[in-house]
Amino acid sequence: MPSRKKQISYQEFLSREFELFHAPYQEETDFFHAVKNGEIKKIQVLLRDSFHTKEGLGTLSKDPLQNLKYHFTITTAMVARYCISGGMAQAEAFSLSDYYIRLADEATSPEEISDIHHDMCLAYTTRMREQLRQDQVSSSIRICINYIYEHLHTRITILTLASVTNLSQTYLSRLFKKETGFSISEYILNKKLDTAKSMLANSSYSIAEISASLAFPSQSYFSNVLKKNCGMTPKQYRDQNIGKMVLDEIIP
pTM: 0.56
Predicted pLDDT of residue 9? 54
By mean pLDDT, which of 24-38, 105-119, 163-177, 210-224 is the weakest?
A: 24-38
d(CA 64, CA 147) in angstroms, rounded, equals 42
pLDDT of residue 151 exceeding 70, the answer is yes
Buried b / exposed e over 96-123, threshold 16 CB at 10 Å, is bbebbbebbeebeebebbbbbbbbbbbb
Q: What is the pLDDT of residues 68-126, one digit of tens each?
A: 999 999 999 999 999 988 888 787 888 888 888 998 998 999 999 999 999 899 989 98
Predicted pLDDT of residue 246? 47
CATH of domain 139-241: 1.10.10.60
pLDDT tier at 127 (50, 70, 90 boundaries)?
Answer: confident
pLDDT of residue 57 exceeding 60, the answer is yes
* Domain ranges, ordered by start, for the chain: 10-134, 139-241
pLDDT tier at 18 (50, 70, 90 boundaries)?
Answer: very low
**Are residues 21 and 28 in contact, defined by beta-carbon separation less than 8 angstroms?**
yes
The dihedral through the CA atoms of 116, 117, 122, 128 has a sign that is positive
Quick one: 168 exposed, middle or buried, by C-beta within 10 A (0-12, 13-18, 19+)? exposed
Q: What is the mean pLDDT of residues 46-62?
A: 82
Predicted pLDDT of residue 54? 78
pLDDT tier at 24 (50, 70, 90 boundaries)?
Answer: low
pLDDT of residue 10 exceeding 80, the answer is no
Percent of the chain having pLDDT more than 90?
A: 43
The mean predicted confidence, pLDDT, of the chain is: 83
pLDDT of residue 30 exceeding 80, the answer is yes
d(CA 100, CA 120) in angstroms, rounded, equals 7
Q: For 6, how many CA atoms within 13 A lie in the half-sphere containing its CB?
A: 2
